[in-house]
């Protein structure tokens, strides 16, 4: 690009800066500078030949690519190191039994769906891709996903808990498998908590109330550049703010999921409480909905407590171990009831896959008891299958904390799942990011914020 | 001259090429088209076609796949009533208004400083130009490392000397300042290179004449050199403004458009609507309006330059 701009300089402009001031017009290129038309044409021809030469070295990649082709499955996903290892292991295991190779196309989280959108538009979509529960509705409603209701064995589809089966369903049809889930807990720095004389709850029934949690946060010792805690509601995670709403008995969408339900005492109280975290200086101002991820600040000792998903443990654990710090976990605060966010991901097959049978078979394998157990144990995430939840898993990392995560996950309500999996939820989430940011950092009036949010939701859902 | 030849000359209309010349032109046309064809093909394929497709998409409600719904000018009506769009347009103008003059002044200063025989001149030129050729995302990541409000290098340095940290990420003015600072860092090198090239064309006699007349170095710069560099400055201003209207990577990585909408730019807003909210028709409408604004700015510059040449 830089070369293009330099080359785009008008010749008369930079080689003869005197010209305009002196009133003369720069001579046209090719005149009076020893560049005859013949020479120009010869030079241009050489340039064209050179470009042609360059062209011979460029060709579109042939062969595998990321699209769906017969004889193998292409699977686009994002994955951390631990996840990728076990995904590869499972894909290899399935290939050994089916004879069909699986090509994993690993891209960063933020780029996967943009790429899949483009591939869908260009009819070059992969056979399978990983997707959050919040995004699946959009693809299902757009006809992009393979309806696997009748393609998956009954023992597979019936093995999921109702909330997770709901998370991958639309109009009673199944559009993928709930591969795993995750949810949030409050992680705390043991030293900081002990210094404050706090005794974090160890059972769900004893979870801090909103008031108890806020008081505990106020007691945490902080230096000038430290804060008591941060919440994980940044960017695509803005929906996690709905935990506070659900804990207080409120809803974002009405019962039939066609309009806003934010004009309520429960939602207003949730907003006032969370807005207060910022105005009181309990959370770093950089952790608003457009800000930086909260877990980064926990590992840098900027905050004493952090709301964090279990999938972050493989990142947090080695960092804190290296620093010689200890951390523990407690349950999310509660109000009228406990409530937690629906995290985790599904795996879906595309409607344009030329290998629908193989894709469905791979999904069934991936979501089976043994494969899911293996994935969850190694990647430190939570299962969606009833049998695994009941039997318990042997996690590779911090099994003591994972027990709490499993217990917290029981508070993911079907009610909340239904709201965050409507087809338009990603657009609604974008509005949440904007409106909450104005409340948290702009200190906007809670009533005005909720009125604006209600208008946004009406527009998004229509 | 024969009578026939005289008649031929007589009947040829003014401006009509001589027969021989016409033949030569006819011979040149295929070669000219052959030379133009690759450029026209690339222009049509990668600029014109996407532009037309975007304009067409802006008339639809679309998530990017699945069925589209024709909505006519609804996206544009919504756009002009959208406070975030206007805020983004204002931010873009402020960003351009700050980065362009500051990078030009600094670029000129550096160019003047190294526009003389000195050791390491080539190295200095490369050092100043380097940020311009670094990927915008890399620059922005470096910016995050510098301007992180909690653990960034700048705030740590400030705290180390007893000063309070600056709210680079959570307050509007510092966030825009961080964006401008990091952008200026990348743009100075380009301005320097262009000014350096232009300074080679400033005749030494003019400076000598000014010195003979008793002008100081500052007066020579102010009244001789800078006016002679005007075409270069105009070129850099227009290019800088156009570039500012396209800014995306630095904003996306460094501030994400926040806090609030304090650093939301037209292109980042279009991206958010198109790929986060999946409202691609609306995002296309933002793109079309941005294109028209840039087109208008370019046309004004072009007409102004043309008028200046005609007057000359």
What sign for the dihedral angle of Cα B107, B112, B113, B118? positive
Residue-level pLDDT at B10: 42
Q: Is the pLDDT of residue B129 over 50?
A: yes
The single-letter DSSP state of residue A209 is: B
Mean pLDDT of B98-118: 92
Q: Is the pLDDT of residue B308 over 70?
A: no
More confident residue, B26 or A323: A323
pLDDT band at A34 (very low <50, low <70, confident <90, very high): very low
Task: Give per-residue pLDDT as tens, A63-84.
Answer: 456 888 888 999 999 998 889 9
Residue-level pLDDT at B128: 87
Mean pLDDT of A371-398: 92
Query: In terms of CA atoms, which chain A residue is nearest residue B78?
Result: A459
Which CATH number describes the domain made up of B83-311? 1.10.3720.10
Chain A residue numbers with beta carbons less than 8 Å from the beta carbon of B275 are: 113-114, 117
Q: Is the pLDDT of residue A9 over 50?
A: no
The single-letter DSSP state of residue B65 is: S
User: Could you tell me what percent of chain B has a pLDDT over 90?
Assistant: 57
Q: Is the pLDDT of residue B64 over 90?
A: no
User: Regarding beta strands A227-230 and A303-309, do their DSSP bridges make them parallel or antiparallel, or are they unpaired?
Assistant: parallel
What distance in Å separates the CA atoms of residue A430 and residue A133, rounded to the nearest whole number?
15
User: Could you tell me what percent of chain A has a pLDDT over 70?
Assistant: 86
Burial class (CB in 10 A: 0-12, 13-18, 19+), A222: middle
**A117–B65: do the CB atoms touch at under 8 Å?**
yes
Mean pLDDT of B256-269: 92
The lowest-confidence range among A2-11, B43-52, B119-128, B229-238 is A2-11
**B148–A292: do the CB atoms touch at under 8 Å?**
yes
β-partners of residue B130 are none
Question: Which one of B145, B222, B259 makes the best mutation probe of the A interface by having the most chain A beta carbons within 10 Å?
Answer: B259
Residue-level pLDDT at A39: 58
Mean pLDDT of A305-320: 94
The three-state secondary structure class of B308 is helix
**A20–B261: do the CB atoms touch at under 8 Å?**
no
What distance in Å separates the CA atoms of residue B236 and residue B104, rounded to the nearest whole number?
8
Helix runs in A16-106, H state only: 19-22, 37-56, 81-98
Q: CA nearest B243: which of A8, A372, A188, A263?
A: A8
Q: Looking at the predicted complex, does its ipTM rise above 0.95?
A: no
Q: CA nearest B292: which of B54, B103, B78?
A: B54
Mean pLDDT, chain A, whole residue set: 86
User: Could you tell me what percent of chain A has a pLDDT over 90?
Assistant: 67
**A441–B258: do the CB atoms touch at under 8 Å?**
yes
The lowest-confidence range among A10-14, B31-35, B77-81 is A10-14
Crossing angle of helices B153-160 and B136-147, in 10° steps, is: 30
Closest approach of B231 to chain A, Cα-based (Å): 6
Mean pLDDT of A87-116: 93
Torsions phi, psi for A405 (to 5 deg):
-60, -40
- Among the partner residues B34, B206, B277, nearest to A430 by beta-carbon distance: B277
Mean pLDDT of A169-191: 94
Closest approach of A89 to chain B, Cα-based (Å): 32
**B160, containing H or E segment:** helix B153-160
Q: CA nearest A429: which of A279, A295, A284, A233?
A: A233
Q: CA nearest B62: which of A304, A138, A46?
A: A138
Asked if the peptide bond before residue B259 counts as cis, ω within 30 degrees of 0, the response is: yes
Residue-level pLDDT at A41: 53
Q: Is the pLDDT of residue A28 over 80?
A: no
pTM of the shown model = 0.77
What distance in Å separates the CA atoms of residue A39 and residue B59, rounded to the nearest whole number?
49
Residue-level pLDDT at B301: 79
CB contact residues (below 8 A), chain B span 25-84, against chain A: 31, 34-35, 38, 63-67, 84
Query: In terms of CA atoms, which chain A residue is nearest residue B189?
Result: A2
Q: CA nearest B182: which of B152, B215, B219?
A: B152
What sign for the dihedral angle of Cα B126, B132, B136, B142? positive
Residue-level pLDDT at A221: 74
pLDDT band at B25 (very low <50, low <70, confident <90, very high): low
pLDDT band at A305 (very low <50, low <70, confident <90, very high): very high
β-partners of residue A181 are A382
pLDDT band at A323 (very low <50, low <70, confident <90, very high): very high
Q: Which residue has the tokens 């959208």?
A: B82
Mean pLDDT of A169-195: 94
Residue A260 in contact with residue A457, Cβ under 8 Å?
yes
Residue-level pLDDT at B278: 85
Q: Is the pLDDT of residue A448 over 80?
A: yes
Question: What are the structure tokens assigned to A8, written together?
Answer: 């785009």
More confident residue, B67 or B101: B101
Residues shown for chain A: 462
Mean pLDDT of B245-261: 90
Residue-level pLDDT at A36: 57
More confident residue, B312 or A8: B312
Residue-level pLDDT at B134: 87
What distance in Å separates the CA atoms of residue A378 and residue A375, rounded to the nearest whole number?
5
Those residues whose C-beta lies under 8 Å from the C-beta of residue A263, and which sit 6 or more positions away, are A450, A451, A454
Q: Is the pLDDT of residue A24 over 50?
A: no
Helix, strand, coil % (nearest 5) of chain A? 50, 15, 35
Residue-level pLDDT at A1: 33
């Amino acid at each position: 690009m830089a070369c293009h701009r330099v080359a785009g300089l008008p010749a008369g402009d930079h080689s003869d800066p005197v010209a305009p001031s002196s009133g003369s017009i720069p001579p046209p290129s090719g005149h009076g500078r020893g560049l005859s038309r013949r020479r120009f044409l010869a030079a241009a021809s050489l340039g064209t030949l050179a470009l042609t030469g360059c062209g011979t070295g460029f060709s579109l990649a042939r062969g595998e690519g990321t699209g769906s082709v017969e004889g193998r499955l292409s699977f686009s996903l994002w994955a951390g190191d631990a996840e990728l290892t076990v995904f590869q292991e499972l894909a290899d295991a399935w290939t050994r039994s089916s004879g069909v190779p699986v090509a994993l196309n690993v891209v960063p989280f933020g780029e996967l769906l943009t790429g899949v959108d483009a591939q869908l538009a260009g009819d070059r979509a992969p056979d399978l891709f990983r997707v959050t529960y919040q995004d699946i509705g959009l693809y299902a409603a757009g006809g992009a996903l393979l309806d696997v209701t009748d393609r998956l064995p009954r023992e597979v589809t019936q093995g999921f808990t109702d909330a997770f089966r709901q998370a991958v369903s639309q109009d009673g049809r199944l559009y993928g498998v709930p591969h795993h889930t995750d949810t949030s807990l409050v992680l705390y720095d043991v030293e900081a908590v002990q210094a404050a004389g706090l005794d974090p709850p160890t059972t769900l029934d004893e979870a801090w109330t909103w008031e108890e949690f806020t008081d505990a946060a106020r007691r945490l010792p902080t230096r000038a550049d430290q804060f008591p805690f941060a919440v994980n509601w940044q960017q695509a995670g803005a929906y996690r703010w709905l935990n506070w709403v659900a804990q207080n008995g409120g809803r974002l969408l009405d019962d039939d999921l066609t309009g806003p339900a934010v004009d309520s005492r429960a939602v207003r109280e949730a907003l006032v409480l969370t807005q207060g975290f910022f105005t009181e200086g309990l959370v770093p101002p950089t952790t608003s909905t457009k800000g930086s991820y909260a877990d980064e600040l926990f590992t840098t000792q900027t905050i004493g407590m952090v709301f964090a998903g279990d999938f972050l443990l493989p990142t947090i654990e080695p960092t804190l171990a290296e620093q010689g710090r200890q951390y523990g976990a407690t349950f999310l605060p509660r109000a009228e009831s406990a409530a937690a966010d629906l995290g985790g991901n599904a795996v879906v097959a595309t409607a344009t896959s030329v290998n629908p049978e193989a894709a469905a078979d791979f999904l069934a394998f991936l979501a089976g008891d043994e494969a899911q157990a293996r994935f969850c144990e190694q990647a430190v995430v939570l299962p969606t299958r009833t049998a695994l939840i009941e039997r318990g898993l042997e996690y590779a990392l911090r099994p003591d904390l994972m027990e709490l995560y499993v217990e917290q996950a029981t508070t993911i309500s079907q009610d909340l799942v239904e709201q965050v999996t409507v087809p338009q939820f990603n657009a609604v989430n974008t509005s949440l990011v904007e409106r909450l940011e104005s409340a948290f950092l702009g200190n906007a009036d809670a009533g005005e914020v909720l009125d604006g949010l209600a208008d946004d939701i009406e527009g998004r859902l229509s | 001259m024969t009578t026939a030849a005289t008649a031929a000359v007589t009947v040829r209309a003014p401006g009509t090429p001589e027969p021989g010349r016409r033949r030569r032109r006819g011979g040149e046309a295929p070669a000219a088209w052959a030379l133009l064809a690759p450029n026209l093909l690339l222009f049509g394929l990668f600029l014109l076609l996407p532009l037309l497709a975007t304009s067409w998409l802006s008339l639809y409600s679309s998530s990017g796949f699945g069925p589209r719904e024709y909505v006519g000018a609804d996206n544009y009506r919504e756009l002009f009533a959208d406070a975030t769009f206007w805020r983004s347009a204002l931010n873009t103008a402020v960003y351009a208004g700050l980065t362009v003059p500051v990078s030009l002044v600094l670029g000129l200063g550096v160019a003047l400083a190294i526009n003389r025989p000195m050791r390491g001149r080539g190295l200095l030129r490369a050092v100043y130009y380097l940020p311009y050729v670094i990927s915008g995302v890399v620059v922005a990541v470096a910016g995050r490392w510098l301007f992180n409000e909690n653990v960034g290098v700048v705030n740590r340095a400030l705290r180390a000397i007893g000063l309070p940290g600056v709210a680079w990420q959570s307050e509007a003015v510092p966030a825009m300042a961080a964006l401008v600072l990091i952008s200026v860092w990348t743009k100075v090198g380009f301005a320097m290179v262009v000014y350096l090239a232009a300074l080679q064309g400033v005749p030494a006699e003019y400076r000598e004449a000014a010195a003979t007349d008793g002008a100081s170095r500052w007066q020579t710069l102010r009244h001789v050199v800078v006016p002679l560099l005007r075409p270069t400055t105009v070129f850099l201003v227009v290019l800088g403004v156009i570039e500012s209207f396209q800014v995306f990577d630095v904003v996306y990585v460094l501030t994400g458009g926040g806090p609030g909408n304090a650093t939301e730019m037209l292109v980042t807003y279009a991206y958010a609507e198109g790929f986060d909210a999946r409202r691609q028709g609306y995002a296309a409408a933002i793109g079309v309006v941005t294109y028209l604004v840039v087109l208008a700015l370019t046309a004004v510059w072009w007409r102004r330059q043309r008028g200046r040449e005609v007057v000359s």
